């Protein structure tokens, strides 16, 4: 993240070129999100993750070996492969976690996975400035290639059963969608169409409809990705304005502190789950998005470095909270819907980030990083507020419906067995 973005920016000298490079990467991820559900229905999650890492390692080697005349083409190849394979890997991993550890341990596994990733980010961001400054971009790309090799070996050791992945078969997807929607097999068939002799089902959209408010939650994730594009594009520019001779220092230091905040949040979440037996819910996702977006805006406000470090720590902690709550929520879907829902989510996230990179990079040529990040993350705060109102309304409706059912059961008990009406009513109230 540090080396590639700075490499493109220093090579071209324009923020727009850096934005277009990242947009190509996100467009590849967008396409991969559309097809990953089908891939996981045909191939095992382990094979998808394994080849995704092999592909990313190979293209980094291509970038290292490319002569100056082919450097632009190599950079485009990197953006395409990294974008597509990164999406394939993350969707396959997240959708297969319940099968690896069990449904009751998925929140713990998500938190542990995010902790491990954050620790790796601390090491990566902490070393990025040193590696780029002292030994150059080639060494950074070689280190990056080595990480993909290590990840591929790790994937080969994961306890994932062979055969088809979490996407299941087409029939399984339809049955799971019907069950999640509360319909029958006949009703589920109404969602099918014959196109060119093949059956097509909007499985991903059925997955979003399977739980109230899930569609808005995924939409908020897409808008949040739009906001994230702004601080990713603005950080190298803001860092260069602070220290033009060594712009990698602030970027790497910021992400290092951000990752430490993320790790701290995971420790709190794990202890909370162990103590209470509860996981972070939808409200945590909404409030976390608000805090995270506000913190990223404050990063570019020109505060002293010590204050900025605290803000980065808060942003990382809030980001970790939203990641666990969001991933765990989608993993509650049936296995046949889960991969498609994660794929659609990845598509929306890549769409929001890719469109954002184009608009934000163009805006950064005219406006300050604070203004651009403020507008982008401000949009995420507005949508998060709508989401929180929606969650609150659903909870009120649930309590009202529960109270109505309790009253109905009490009335039936009084009418059917007057001698036990008070007792039954007390039991319902106590439950």
DSSP per-residue letters across 251-316: HHHHHHHHHHHHHHHHHHHHHHHHHHS----HHHHHHHHHHHHHHHHHHTT---HHHHHHHHHHHH
* Run of H or E including 22: helix 15-42
Q: What residues have CB less than 8 Å from 180, skipping those under 6 apart?
A: 206, 207, 210, 211, 333, 334, 337
Q: Which two tokens stand for residue 61?
A: 């080697």
CB 266 within 8 A of CB 118: yes
95 to 113, 149, 274, 345: CA distances (angstroms): 13, 22, 23, 12
Average pLDDT over residues 133-161: 87
Q: Are residues 384 and 405 in the same domain?
A: no
Mean pLDDT score, 67-78: 82
Same domain, residue pair 16 and 26: yes
SS3 161: coil
Q: Which whole-number Å values give the CA distances from 50 to 56, 150, 160, 212, 418, in the listed order?
A: 10, 11, 12, 35, 66
Do 29 and 83 meet the contact criterion of CB atoms below 8 Å apart? Answer: yes
In a domain, 52, yes or no: yes
Q: Is 309's pLDDT higher than 90?
A: yes
pTM: 0.71
Cβ–Cβ < 8 Å for 173, 337: yes
What is the distance between the alpha carbons of residues 428 and 419, in angstroms, rounded to a whole number? Answer: 16
Strand partners, 200: 193
Residue 270 lies in a domain: yes
Same domain, 301 and 405: no
Please count the structural domains in the chain: 2
> Mean per-residue pLDDT for 246-275?
82
| Residue position matching structure tokens 């959209």 | 205
State residue 15's pLDDT score: 66
Using the predicted structure, report yes or no on whether residue 109 has a pLDDT greater than 70: yes
Among the residue ranges 201-210, 276-285, 352-361, 415-424, the one predicted with the least confidence is: 415-424
Asked if residue 264 is part of any domain, the answer here is: yes
Does 417 lie in the same domain as 367? no
Question: Which pLDDT score, from 0 to 100, does residue 40 have?
Answer: 86
- How many CB atoms neighbour CB 353 within 10 A? 27
Is 423 a domain residue?
Answer: yes
Q: What is the CA radius of gyration of the chain?
A: 24
Distances (CA, A) of 264 to 115, 284, 285, 321, 353: 9, 16, 17, 10, 26
Residue with tokens 């659609």: 344
**What's the burial of 185, exposed, middle or buried (CB within 10 Å: 0-12/13-18/19+)?**
exposed
Q: Is residue 388 part of a domain?
A: yes
Which residues does residue 194 pair with via DSSP β-bridges, in sequence order?
199
Residue with tokens 């590696």: 131
Q: Poorest-confidence range of 62-71, 105-114, 129-138, 195-204? A: 195-204
- Inside any domain, residue 184: no
d(Cα 252, Cα 246) in Å, to the nearest integer? 11
One domain, residues 338 and 285:
yes
* Three-state secondary structure call for residue 120: helix
Q: Is the pLDDT of residue 310 over 90?
A: yes
Give dist(CA 278, CA 270) in Å, integer.
Answer: 10
**pLDDT of 177 higher than 80:** no
Q: What is the mean pLDDT of the chain?
A: 77
Cα separation, 41 vs 335, in Å, equals 11
| Region 136-162 average pLDDT | 86
Positive/negative CA dihedral, 45, 47, 50, 54: negative
pLDDT at 141 > cutoff 80: yes
Average pLDDT score over residue span 382-391: 91
Q: Which residues of 244-281 are buried (b: 16+ CB within 10 A; e: fewer)?
A: eeebbbbbbbbbbbbbbbbbbbbeebbebbeeeeebbe
Residue 358 and residue 282 share a domain = yes
CATH number (domain holding residue 388): 1.20.1250.20
* 402 shares its domain with 334: no
Residue 419 sits in the same domain as residue 364: no
Residue 406 confidence class, pLDDT cut points 50, 70, 90? low
Q: What is the dihedral of CA 330, 334, 339, 345, to 10 degrees?
A: -30
Its sign, for the CA torsion 105, 106, 109, 115, is negative
**Together in a domain, 367 and 422:** no
The Cα 185–Cα 143 span in angstroms is: 52
The mean pLDDT value for 3-27 works out to 75
339 and 407 together in one domain = no
Query: In which domain, by residue range, is 403 found?
Result: 397-430
Do residue 228 and residue 93 come from a single domain?
yes
CA–CA gap between residue 13 and residue 4 (Å, rounded): 14
C-alpha closest to that of 339 among 42, 24, 25, 23:
42
| Within a domain: 76 | yes
Q: Is 179 or 11 the better-scoring residue by pLDDT?
A: 11
Integer angstrom CA distances of residue 361 from 15, 152, 231, 233, 381 = 6, 33, 10, 6, 21
- Is 193 within the bounds of a domain? no
Pair 213, 357 in one domain: yes
In the chain, what's the furthest Cα-to-Cα distance? 92
Give me the pLDDT at residue 49, please.
93
């Amino acid at each position: 993240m540090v080396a590639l973005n700075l490499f493109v920016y220093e090579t071209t000298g324009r923020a727009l070129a850096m934005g277009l490079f990242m947009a190509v990467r996100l467009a590849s991820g967008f396409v991969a999100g559309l097809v990953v559900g089908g891939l996981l229905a045909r191939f095992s999650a382990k094979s998808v993750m394994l080849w995704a890492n092999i592909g990313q390692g190979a293209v980094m080697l291509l970038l290292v070996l490319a002569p100056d005349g082919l450097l632009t083409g190599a950079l485009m190849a990197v953006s395409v492969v990294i974008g597509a394979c990164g999406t394939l890997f993350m969707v396959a991993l997240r959708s297969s976690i319940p099968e690896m550890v069990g449904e009751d341990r998925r929140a713990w596994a998500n938190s542990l996975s995010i902790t491990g990733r954050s620790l790796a980010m601390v090491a990566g961001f902490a070393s990025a400035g040193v590696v780029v400054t002292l030994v150059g971009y080639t060494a950074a790309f070689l280190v990056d290639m080595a990480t993909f090799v290590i990840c591929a070996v790790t994937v080969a050791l994961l306890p994932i059963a062979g055969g088809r992945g979490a996407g299941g078969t087409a029939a399984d997807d339809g049955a799971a969608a019907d069950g999640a929607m509360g319909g029958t097999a006949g009703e589920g068939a109404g969602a099918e169409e014959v196109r060119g002799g093949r059956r097509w089902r909007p499985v991903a959209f059925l997955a979003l409809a399977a739980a109230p408010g899930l569609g808005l939650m995924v939409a908020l994730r897409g808008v949040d990705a739009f906001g994230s594009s702004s601080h990713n594009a603005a950080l190298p520019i803001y860092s260069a304005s602070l220290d033009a001779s060594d712009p990698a220092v602030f970027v790497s230091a910021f992400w290092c502190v951000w990752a430490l905040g993320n790790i701290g949040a995971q420790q709190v979440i794990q202890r909370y789950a162990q103590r209470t037996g509860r996981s972070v819910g939808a409200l945590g996702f909404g409030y976390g998005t608000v805090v995270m977006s506000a913190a990223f805006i404050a990063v570019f406000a020109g505060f002293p470095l010590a204050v900025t470090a605290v803000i980065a720590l808060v942003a990382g902690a809030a980001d970790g909270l939203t990641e666990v709550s969001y991933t765990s929520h989608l993993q509650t879907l049936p296995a046949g819907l889960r991969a498609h829902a994660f794929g659609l989510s990845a598509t929306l996230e890549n769409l929001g980030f890719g469109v954002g990179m184009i608009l934000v990079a163009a805006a950064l040529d005219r406006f300050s990083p604070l203004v651009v990040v403020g507008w982008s993350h401000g949009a995420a705060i507005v949508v998060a507020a709508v989401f929180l109102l929606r969650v609150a309304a659903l909870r009120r409706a649930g309590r009202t419906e529960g109270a109505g059912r309790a009253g109905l059961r009490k009335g039936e008990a009084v009418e059917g067995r007057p001698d036990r009406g008070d007792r039954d009513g007390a039991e319902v109230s106590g439950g």
